[in-house]
Structure formats: structure tokens, C-alpha cells
Structure 1
């Protein structure tokens, strides 16, 4: 089984499925589907067994909610207005007891409680003149890869490879970065779904010595402006549930918590739970 993730399209007279195979994270994600859901799920189960996946995720439509519940899947998160204005429910199913086991859930609940009890306003920070905020291009690919290597021991996508970063840019992903003395010290991206008009704000990283200025909040706000200018108003972000700073930043920027993925992906240094945050940019 290869480590690189890729998308396959399964077509049958009764259904159509768009499936993201992610062997590195030992999971499969159904990004889109049409047709007979029961037959579609049976085919997906076959692929799960073939790939020896431990977790299945399906982006389900609200009208299919009960069908997925009856099929033994459980809703983990929701993204408001994901499908051209209709909500998407992220269902999951686990295929190993170990993948279903978790010891940090209560700790992560406490982090959320602490965030919601804190103030939601954004502190105004004076940024030194040495910092420059800009939209990244392919010339910045090596600098972005270097940043992610410094911060993450493990990452769910191969951002350590500058060629992969360039490919994501060509596929429509938008990156904004902060430069300090010519070096990238903070970055984030918007992975845009141009068909359903939504975007995931992701790949958020800031070197520890530069975190006191709130660089990430400024980058995310710049990405939001870019999305709004392109008619995309559904924005969501998936943050490490154990990260107080990242979850607090999203809360302060007006994002709303919409659930938690259990043992979702390998990131930072282990398999981790991830929180879903959602924002309607039309209300900005």
C-alpha cells in the first residue's frame, strides 16, 4: 500500500462515488456521492477492506442522515452550508478497536470549555516593521516546506516536499505567509472546493519565537478576504484538539465549534483528535 494519498472515482449504473484514499493515515474518505446509498456503502466497505483502512469518513447530506445512521455510521462533525449552501454531516466508522480507543477526550473537552469562557475579542498587537505579509507563489514552495519540517514531526500530507506544495498551488490552494528578514516564519492556506464553493483553512504553522504577535490570526483574516473576493463564503478549519492556541485563535476570529474527529490523522507527533470550526464569511 503506497503512502501517497489520491482520489479515485467509482462509477456504476446505480451510483457514483468520489473517494479519497489516504494510506498514510489509514483512512478512507468519501468526498462526494450520488445514487443508491446502500449499494454505494457496500462498495465502499469493499474498498475499505482492500485498503486495510482503520477509519471511514463520509461527507453526507442532511437528507441522507438517517440512512447513514441505520448503516452503522456515526456523525462526528458538521460544516454549515458546505454543499452550495446545504450542510454537510461528516459520518465515520471504525474498523479496529485501537483506532476507536482514546485517552485525551476529556482533556480536549476542558480545553474547549476554557476557550469558551475566555473573551472572544482579538487583541490589537503592534507588529514590528520587520514582518511582511504576502500571498505566496511557487517561488516560496521551498520556504513553506522548510517551515512545516521545523514545526511538525509528522504531517498528514507531504508538505515537506516543495514539489507537492507547488502542485497544490496549481490545483487552486491559496497560501499566505509572513516573512521575517526574508524568511517564512508563519503560513496558512485555503484549500478551495470550486464546485461546492467552500474552503478549508489549513496548514497553519508559526515558528514558536514568532507566536507572540498573533501572526496566524492576521493570515487567516487575509485568506478570508481572498475567499470572499472570489465568492466563497463557507469557510472551515480543522484544528488539533489538544492545541489551545489554534482553537482559541479560531474562536476569537468568529468560528463556531462543530464537533470532533476521533483519531483522525497523524499530525505533530502522533495520531490525534481534530476539532471542526466553521464560519459564514457572508456575515463578516
Structure 2
């Protein structure tokens, strides 16, 4: 249940697929959701199509080696239609025209320092997220929420410039299905020239590999050249776009899905 983003998301289906879909639709309508997202498998595509869903993106090997597909249905025309789709296509094209340079080691210039973030950093993290994002799909401006995600197993890394936290990112691990989302990526604008986010993502990938998690994915704002370029350059593959998926930055935004098989790197 995600009232902030006016959507319902179904992460796991049990029993009859058709009955599950109809039950999810009932909940969506009762809660006046504008979008219903169901994580399904390719063999279920015909049933989802019959029920009016569209296939928007996929994540390779999400379900312990089996691919996952985002099936989506909309309950308002405004939510269904994106005003920025062609502009986002241009961003994606310019990103994919760049070379993949994942093998290149990036040195962290002094006085920057890399740190695994813990409870002692939550105030600094909240301040960073407040500064970078006017709005965000989850309450990362709240130190209590950040501490709760840490307790639930999210791994955060950040970069400090002297005493200030200037960049941060997280890996949210799904132990049941063996995947992880790289998320909550933020860098202060004046520090973006040093490729700090790429350094953080590489560090998080190493953590995941130590835990035998090889399906890594990230969902980035489709209008953000920098974030999409970072993922592409690290060898992530574009796997689709989620229309008006969540409130982020300053409005409802389309989100690009990027996937990487860490076992191949």
C-alpha cells in the first residue's frame, strides 16, 4: 500500500493468478489508487494482457534466477500519459551512446572519504536527502525512518567531504529472492564532478557479491542524465521504463529500470 505515490504494488502472488489480480484491483479501487503494479513472470503475460495490464519493464534473474516483469494498470488517464516520454528517449539515447567503462578504477580525491553509514550518520543523511530532493517516494528526510531501514537490513555507504556528508547510496537486499535494489542515490550538485556515485555503487556491488547476491538493479529518474549515465557506464542494462511511477524530485516521474548480473563481473 503506497498512498503517498497513489499506487498499489503486489510483490508476490500466491494461488490463483486471476483471483489474485482481481483482488488486487478491488484493493486499488477501494483505495482510489491511480496505478497498480504487479511483479509477475513471463508465462503470465497473456492473463495480464486479458485483464488490461501493460508490460513496462523487467528485472533479469529477480526470482532466484527467474526473470521478473512489471505488469501495470492505470485508473486515471492523467497518470497513464507521460508528457516527457520523447525527452526521456533522448536522454536514454545520449546515455547509451557513451562507452561502458566499468573496469576503470576511480580514485577518491582528498579530502573525500568513503564510509559505511550507520546510526551515527542518520542526521547527516536526512540533511543530504532533504537538500537534494524536494520530494522523495519514501521519507528519507526523517532520521527515524532511515534508522529503521538500517535495522531491516539496508546497507548504506556515503562519501564525506571533511565533516559534511555529500553523497550516499543504499542496497536494499531481498534475501528471499536473492536480489538487491541499489537506491536512495544522492550527491550534492557541487560535488558531482568527482563521480562519487559510481564509487558508491561499485562498493555496494562488492558487498552484495560477498553475500552471494548477484541480481542487482536500480530504478532511476528517466530525466536524470547523470544517474542513468552512471549505471550504463558500470555495465547495467536498460530494461524498460515505468510510467509516472512515483513522486520524486519535484513531480510524478517516469523511472528507468537498469539491471546487472554481478556474477559476470
Identify the TM-score tier after normalising by the shorter chain: over 0.9
Query: What TM-score do you get using the length of structure 2 for normalisation?
Result: 0.97
CA distances 1:212-238 after superposition (whole Å, capped 9, x unpaired): 110000000000000000010000000
Partner of 1:213: 194
In structure 2, stretches of 5+ residues that fail to align are: none
Does 2:221 align with 1:235? no
CA distances 1:14-36 after superposition (whole Å, capped 9, x unpaired): xxxxxxx0000000000001110
Say which structure is richer in strand. Answer: 1
Does 2:257 align with 1:276? yes
Does 2:75 align with 1:95? yes
For 2:212 and 2:106, locate their aligned partners in 1 and report how far apart those are by CA, in whole Å.
30
Does 2:45 align with 1:80? no
Query: What TM-score do you get using the length of structure 1 for normalisation?
Result: 0.91
Does 2:141 align with 1:144? no
**Aligned with 2:110: secondary structure?**
coil
Aligned structure 1 segments of 4 or more residues deviating by more than 2 angstroms: 122-128
Question: Which has the bigger relative contact order, CA under 8 A and spacing at least 6?
Answer: 2
Partner of 2:38: 58
Partner of 2:100: 120
Does 2:149 align with 1:168? yes
Question: What is the CA-CA distance between 1:125 and the residue it aligns to?
Answer: 5.1
User: How many equivalent residue pairs?
Assistant: 264
**Aligned with 1:22: secondary structure?**
coil
CA distances 1:53-72 after superposition (whole Å, capped 9, x unpaired): 00000000222122111211
How well do the aligned residues superpose, as a CA RMSD in angstroms? 1.0
For 2:138 and 2:93, locate their aligned partners in 1 and report how far apart those are by CA, in whole Å.
30
Equivalences for residues 11-30 of structure 1 within 5 A: 21-30=1-10
